[in-house]
A and B are shown apart, each in its own frame.
Chain A
Amino acid sequence: MGLDLRFALRQLRRNPAFTLAAALTLALGVAATTTVFSFVDAALLRPLPYPDPSRLFVLWNARAGTDRETLSYPNFLDYRTRAADFESMALYRRRRFNVTAGGEPERIRGALVTADFFRTLGVTPAPGRDLAEGEDQPAQDRVVIVSERFWRRRLDGAPGAIGRVLRVDGVALEVVGVVPDRVGYPSEAEVWVPVSHEARWLLESRGLQGYTVIGRLREGASPAAAQTQLATIASGLEAEHPQNNAGWTVRLESLQSAMAGDTRPTLLLLFGSAAILLLVATVNLASMLLARAATRRREIAVRRAVGAGDGRLVRQLLTESLLLAGIGGVLGVIFAVWGVQAWRVFWESPGGSPALVRVDWRVVAFALGLTIATALLFGLAPAVRLSRSGTAESLRSGGGTGGLRRGGRVLVAGEIGLALMLGIGGTLLVRSLLKLQAVNPGFDRTGVLAARVSLPETTYKEPKRVVAYYRGLLSEIERLPGVVAAGAGDVVPLIPGGGGSFGFAIQGRPTPPPQEWPIAAWASVTPGYFRALGIQAVAGRLIEEADDASRSDVVLVNQAMARTFWPGRSPVGARITFEADQKHWLEVVGVVADVRSEALAQPAKPQVYVAHAQWGDPGLSLVVRGVGDPLQLIGPIRAIAQRLDPEIPVAEARSMEEAIGQSMVSERLRTAIFTGFASLALLLAAVGIYGVMAFLVVQRKREIALRIALGARRRAVIGGVIRQSLSLAAPGVILGLAGALAASRALRGFLYGVPPTDPLSVLAACIIVAILVTVAALTPARRAADTDPMHTLRSE
């Protein structure tokens, strides 16, 4: 074996160009697959970093048409009391908090949690302690748990930080524990605050969902039995509180699956594309080895003549393949480490933490397995073929190359087919992204700044105070030089968070039971909101300064809502209610243009806008239109906010251009990675074509020399070689088209405004392949045209 290894090393060292090309080819394939695998592993495969993770579940509210809704607090309390199959059950709601740890206040991601939240997960904060029982009740709740990251960043990572007091939304809370980042949940949370800090009315409402419930099953309890038990409890709650619970049940989902969330299809798509790239790299290597095999037939024949059996020959050749694969594999893992680092910068997952994504022993083992598998795949066929080549014949003539030519053709066709499949996918995704970027969001994005302001409910209890604060802030901002308009709303288009969706009824129409009311998205806005975002009134009027608590409540509806509920007539003057007892009605005073608020790909849904001055929501996003770069306005706006109340930070400032960009981050990332893989695959296929054509030109040297001697022009020779390369690629193109057609269903969910069989994208990909094949064949073609006929024929 040692001798085999020594010879293999010698072979690779004496052919550095081949070794480098082969190792890099494999490294690209291994790196792509390993990088994506790191994410697949973290999100879908690796057990969560909690004890007995298979016993952890999320309880979702479900009814016809939706199965991933959160729960209300009172319902959670009932499930917790009644579900005997659960050892413990806890709840959280993601929120951002204004946190002051000495110095400037900072807006920080965190969660409101029940006291048993970390005990349910099986996490013990250290240093410090967990929330004690009862610390999620008023009066005992002046405590907070922070993340390791926050502890290092803001509390100097000192053990003495336990016991320090932070001001969280204006309330002094004592830091009692630090949670290691590895086990922090939900992702990116930096502070965990007892749920009792939530507004009382939110905790008392059975109709207001918004809390995610996690539960740990008792040892030995089966998820199916627990599911049945929860369904029984849900039926009971439905009977007890039909107004809020009618039609709802509870569905269990493993915490692992819930954390992976919507990222699963994207990860699987990218993993599939990386696997195809690896396959292309493998096929490319096989064809390179096959081409090299032609030059090694004599050597193999000699080895056989001096006593080598089939097994020894295959072993020798496989040792070379494995060594080559080993070099490629090591390079691949190095590239994968870089790839993971680069990707993590962009990664956002609803549950999965980027901290969990790493190149660890599992990932390395995967890469190793992949490397060995590919080495066997690309090495075995040429090895067996070589070992079986006729010894006597090879010794006499150097061996025939018919089999090699056939093998090379088949491999190149396969390679082109796979690369074209990825190419078509890539062009479809690019076209889809371009269409998405061209979507009119319904507002004017240029020159607009958005930033979040949250007034703590503890210090801004009365709506009047809240309204006064925002009026003061906005009027001062409007006076800033360069500001055209300033407004605020609890929802800003394409920026996640805020608002909500509620059922409503229309006065004068037959009213179904509340659980069957149609749903409309709700936004609470100031008058300047529409001016700042450039949202036009289509009928009636906009919200005005005069629409305050002293006047009857008004509401604007968007065109989608007007079309759906008042088809063919104006809704202005109609009255709607969002309350089941139908005591409180809002008058529709205007219709505004549709805005794509959730995502550019999603058409506007029915939406209402209420006057902030009539509701007094404490947390709003500022929207400010200026004449220049909107980001220049952040400083002056922060200065005003600081002057009005030093404890209120102005956070998450970004331009609306940026917000639109961020709303497409996953589409962009997906498209970039997929097209990156597709480009690499096409490049490898072109290299493959080059290799085979260079080989064929050498084989045809005599024929080409004869043609030139008989008067063939240079152009004709070049044309002939290029035609031959295109005819080599043709079966691959057919294969690729068939493959793309078969895989089109997998891509359907990722496309916007482009069908998965879009002829333009398919044509574009085919043209790219044709150009690449032509370019790849050009050098061998020129070499063929440069053949000196006299010299070649004489030496023959």
Chain B
Amino acid sequence: MIRLANLDRFYEAGPTRTYVLRRINLEIREGEFVTIMGPSGAGKSTLLSIIGMLDNAWTGEYRFLDQAVHELPGKKRVELNKKYIGFVFQKYHLIDDLTVYENLEIPLSYRDIKPKERAAIVAETLDRFQIVGKKDLYPSQLSGGQQQLVGVARAVIANPKLLLADEPTGNLHSAQGEEIMELFTRLNRQGTTIVQVTHSERNASYGHRTIQLHDGWVVQNEEVQTAKA
């Protein structure tokens, strides 16, 4: 599904280049649940942004579902993102001025889905995530766990093939975190490919494979021995 070859990401300040990612060569197959780990500043979130096509300032090759992303113009990359990718953020990043219902509706509206169909999908998602009672509340009226639940619901509402999660439980207490990870596992079993960034070994144990980054380099790429059921 994802194939990165010799991918670099750097910042230029005058004559010097500061590399965030160096010669990344990586393959992620459809249906995998991959964890990216590493110390702060290793480039984990940047890699996730590049995979999610939110960051376009890189060099090298990136193939996504057999499409050569490195050859695509920005607009086409947005199209790919829109069609196949969902995002979950550590800080939830719900839109403060919109209700739960509207936050879920937003990705569908960007995909030009008609209002009636939108309403049906949102209703189904609210039901699936058991947040029907919260639909008219604003994010500030929800707990952290509830907000992240909405965040995940928003990420999967358009039925993405790939779910990218950046420290999805970083702001949650352990019980809430576990709930989210269980949710990810269920989604993965239903066919969604998941790539998560985390510091937590426990969270990593939910995945199939762990990739270790250090100073922008991939230093380890191995299967998880015992996946937690």
- CB pair A303 B95 closer than 8 Å: yes
| A391 adjacent to B110 (CB under 8 Å) | no
Whether B89 and A395, one on each chain, are in contact in the complex, defined by CB atoms closer than 8 angstroms, is: yes
Q: Which of A72-80, A304-312, A348-356 contacts B (4 or more CB under 8 A)?
A: A304-312
Q: Which residues of chain B from 87 to 114 have a CB within 8 Å of any chain A CB?
A: 87, 89, 93-98, 102, 105-107, 109-111
Alpha-carbon distance between A298 and B95 when the two chains are bound, in angstroms: 9
Q: Contacts A298-B93, A396-B45 known; A306 to B154 CB distance under 8 Å?
A: yes
Closest Cβ neighbor of A295 among chain B residues: B96
Q: Is the CB of A11 within 8 A of B87?
A: no
Q: What's the Cα separation between A2 and B115 when bound, in Å?
A: 10
Q: Are A395 and B110 in contact (CB under 8 A)?
A: no
CB distance from A558 to the nearest CB of B (A): 76
Q: Within the assembled complex, what's the spacing in Å between the Cα atoms of A303 and B109?
A: 11
Given the contacts A309-B78, A391-B54, A392-B55, A14 and B97 also touching, CB distance less than 8 Å: yes
Closest to B75 in A: A309
Q: Which of B79, B97, B106, B115 contacts A306 (CB 8 A)?
A: B106
* Contact count A vs B, C-beta below 8 Å: 66
The reply to whether A305 and B87 form a contact with Cβ atoms under 8 Å apart is yes
* Docked complex Cα distance between A395 and B88 (Å): 11
Interface residues of A in 1-17 (CB under 8 A from B): 2-3, 7, 10-11, 14
User: Does any Cβ of A come within 8 Å of B152's Cβ?
Assistant: no
Interface size class of A (residues with CB under 8 A): 20 to 34
Number of B residues, CB within 8 Å of A? 31
CB distance from A566 to the nearest CB of B (A): 85
CA distance A612 to B1 in the complex (A): 110
**What's the least CB distance linking B86 to chain A, in Å?**
8
Q: Is there an interface contact between B54 and A312, defined as CB atoms closer than 8 Å?
A: no
Chain A residues numbered 285-334 whose CB sits less than 8 Å from any CB in chain B: 298-299, 301-310, 312
Taken together as a complex, chains A and B put the C-alpha atoms of A3 and B108 apart, in Å, by: 11
CA distance A298 to B115 in the complex (A): 26
Also in contact, A10 and B97, with CB within 8 A (given A305-B54, A306-B87, A396-B45) = yes
A392 contacts across to B, CB distance below 8 A:
45-46, 49, 54-55
Contact between A307 and B158 (Cβ–Cβ < 8 Å)?
A: yes
When distances are taken between beta carbons in the complex, the residues of chain A under 8 Å from B115 are: 2
What CA separation (Å) do A11 and B46 show in the bound complex?
31
Tell me which of B45, B55, B81, B93 contacts A302 (CB under 8 A): B93
Of all chain B residues, the one with the shortest Cβ separation from A398 is B91
> In the bound complex, what is the Cα–Cα distance between A132 and B40 (angstroms)?
100
Closest CB in chain A relative to B125 CB, distance in Å:
13
Closest to B108 in A: A307
User: Is the CB–CB distance between A307 and B98 below 8 Å?
Assistant: no
Give residues of chain B (52-93) contacting chain A, Cβ–Cβ below 8 Å.
52, 54-55, 75, 78-79, 81-82, 86-87, 89, 93
Do A3 and B93 touch across chains, with their CB atoms under 8 A apart? no
Q: Which residues of A contact B93 (CB under 8 A)?
A: 298, 301-302, 305, 395
For the complex, what is the distance from the CA of A391 to the CA of B164, rounded to whole Å? 15
Asked whether A307 lies within 8 Å of B111 as measured between CB atoms, the reply is yes
Chain B minimum-CB-distance residue to A13: B97
With A309-B78, A395-B89 known to touch, is A7 a contact of B97 (CB < 8 Å)?
A: yes
Q: Is A302 touching B109 in the complex (CB atoms < 8 A)?
A: no
Among A301, A302, A395, the one with the most B-chain Cβ atoms within 10 Å of its Cβ is: A302
Q: Are B106 and A305 in contact (CB under 8 A)?
A: no
Instruction: Flag if B110 contacts A299 (CB, 8 Å).
Output: no
> Which of B95, B105, B110 touches A309 (beta carbons < 8 Å)?
B110
> What does the 1/0 interface line of A644-682 toward B look like (CB < 8 Å)?
000000000000000000000000000000000000000
Roughly how many angstroms separate A138 CA and B55 CA in the complex, as a whole number? 94
B170 shortest CB reach to chain A, Å: 13
B99 to chain A, nearest CB (A): 9
User: Which residue of chain B has the shortest Cβ distance to A391 in the bound complex?
Assistant: B54
CB distance from A293 to the nearest CB of B (A): 15
Closest to A4 in B: B109
Residues in A neighbouring B107, C-beta threshold 8 A: 306-307
- Interfacial residues, chain B to chain A (CB-CB below 8 A): 45-46, 49, 52, 54-55, 75, 78-79, 81-82, 86-87, 89, 93-98, 102, 105-107, 109-111, 115, 154-155, 158
Pick 18 A–B contacts, CB within 8 A, sort by A.
A3-B105, A14-B97, A302-B94, A304-B54, A305-B87, A305-B89, A306-B87, A306-B154, A307-B110, A307-B158, A309-B78, A309-B110, A391-B54, A392-B45, A392-B49, A392-B54, A395-B49, A396-B45
- In addition to A305-B87, A392-B49, 20 A-B residue pairs with Cβ atoms within 8 Å of each other are A3-B109, A10-B98, A302-B94, A303-B95, A304-B78, A305-B89, A306-B86, A306-B106, A306-B107, A307-B78, A307-B81, A307-B158, A308-B110, A310-B75, A390-B55, A392-B45, A392-B54, A395-B49, A395-B54, A395-B89
Spell out A's residues near B (CB within 8 Å).
Answer: 2-3, 7, 10-11, 14, 298-299, 301-310, 312, 390-392, 395-396
